[in-house]
Amino acid sequence: MTLLAILLLAHLCTDFLIQSDQMARCKRSMKLAAKWYPLLGHALTQVPVAIGIWLVGKLMRVSSWPSIEIFVISLIIAVITHWLIDVTKQNCQPILKRTLRLKTNQVPLISYIFDQLLHLLVIGMVSRLLMTNWQTTTMSRWLLAASVTIGTLYFADYFISLFLKSLDLNAERLPDRAQLGRHIGRLERLAILLLFYTNNVASIAVVVAIKALTRFRAIEANQHHFAEYYLIGSLLSLIFGCLGGYLLKLI
């Protein structure tokens, strides 16, 4: 479990906390020759993160901590597969579109889901094959809790954005506050996650009500266009917040 926790947190930090907007644009390029080197650098950012986590655990003498040999082998596999998935992701989108018969605006969402599932599948398989002891430790729980928090705030952020774009909503008539909306959404999910984890589920309604009040004029001005956009986004944010809180309680 400790190896899984290390690789998972390193992956999430690389893809959501460290990744720049420029790197995200590079991933969307169809030119393999132009993006293979920058994306290799992106994949390699996992290395210092993972090494830092591993060293902390080693210095603290955490039980069931992976040996240096197992850690290095798993990290090399994780970096190489991360790079290969990112390099081929955009070029596989036409195949994905034809195979699943997707609309053009649905392709980025499905591609994003498959991309993250592949990363998680590799991490899970490597951890399962290389580590025989799956004992859960306090350290692994903390690492998994950090991963759940990052996933709730940032994975959900991109998922909701791509999901809304995949719908046939009139985006031209919506207020241009995407970046501000993302920050509000992250704070909302963080509040929901903490309230769910501390068993203050009833207080979640207060968070949702406050957000609704701040958006009332925008909903009124844009009539049903913004109302649909707001309702779907808020419900997805609520689902991810509650799911994250539930996972934290399981950990």
Q: pLDDT tens for residues 144-167?
A: 999 999 999 999 999 998 998 888
- pLDDT of 235 over the 60 cut: yes
Three-state secondary-structure class, residue 63 = coil
The pLDDT value recorded for residue 171 is: 54
Q: Would you place residue 226 in the very low, low, confident or very high pLDDT band (cuts 50, 70, 90)?
A: low
Kindly tell me if the per-residue pLDDT of 25 is higher than 70: yes
- 211 or 13, which is more confident? 13
Read off the tokens for 77: 């596999």
How far apart are the C-alpha atoms of 102 and 105, rounded to whole Å?
8
Cα dihedral 142, 143, 148, 153 in deg (nearest 10)? 100
Residue 34 binned pLDDT confidence (cut-offs 50, 70, 90): confident
Residue showing tokens 């094959």: 129
219 pLDDT tier (thresholds 50, 70, 90): low
**Lowest-pLDDT choice from 5-9, 221-225, 242-246:** 221-225
Residue extents of the structural domains in the chain: 2-155, 172-250
Among the residue ranges 54-68, 165-179, 189-203, the one predicted with the least confidence is 165-179
Low-confidence winner among 28-32, 202-206, 221-225 (lowest mean pLDDT): 221-225
Pairwise CA distance, residues 87 & 179, whole Å: 27
pLDDT at 32 over 90: no
> Residue 214 — very low, low, confident or very high, per pLDDT cuts 50/70/90?
low
Per the prediction, the chain carries an average pLDDT of: 86
Instruction: Classify burial at 241, counting beta carbons within 10 Å of its beta carbon; exposed 0-12, middle 13-18, buried 19 or more.
Output: buried
Nearest residue to 66 (alpha-carbon basis) of 147, 127, 124:
127
Indicate if the pLDDT at residue 177 is higher than 70: no
pLDDT for the residue 206 = 83
Contacts of 27 (CB under 8 A, 6+ apart): 35, 39, 86, 89, 90
- Dist CA 75 CA 128 (whole Å): 14
| Position 217, amino acid | R
For residue 83, the Cα-to-chain-centroid distance in whole angstroms is 17
User: In this predicted structure, what is the pLDDT of residue 79?
Assistant: 96
In this predicted structure, the answer to whether residue 231 has a pLDDT above a threshold of 60 is yes
pTM of this structure: 0.86
Q: Is 216 or 138 the better-scoring residue by pLDDT?
A: 138
Q: For position 212, what pLDDT does the model report?
A: 73
Rounded Cα distance between 39 and 122, Å, is: 18
CA-based end-to-end distance of the chain:
12
Distance of alpha carbon 155 from alpha carbon 148, whole angstroms: 10
% of the chain beyond a pLDDT of 70: 89
Whole-number pLDDT of residue 57: 93
62 and 135 in contact (C-beta within 8 Å)?
Answer: no
Check whether 204 has a pLDDT greater than 60: yes
Residue among 34, 42, 114, 24 at smallest CA distance from 78: 42
- Look up residue 66 and give its DSSP letter: P
Q: Give the confidence band of 240 by pLDDT, cuts at 50, 70, 90.
A: very high
CA neighbor of 155 nearest in space, from 189, 179, 180, 192: 189
More confident call, 32 vs 88: 88
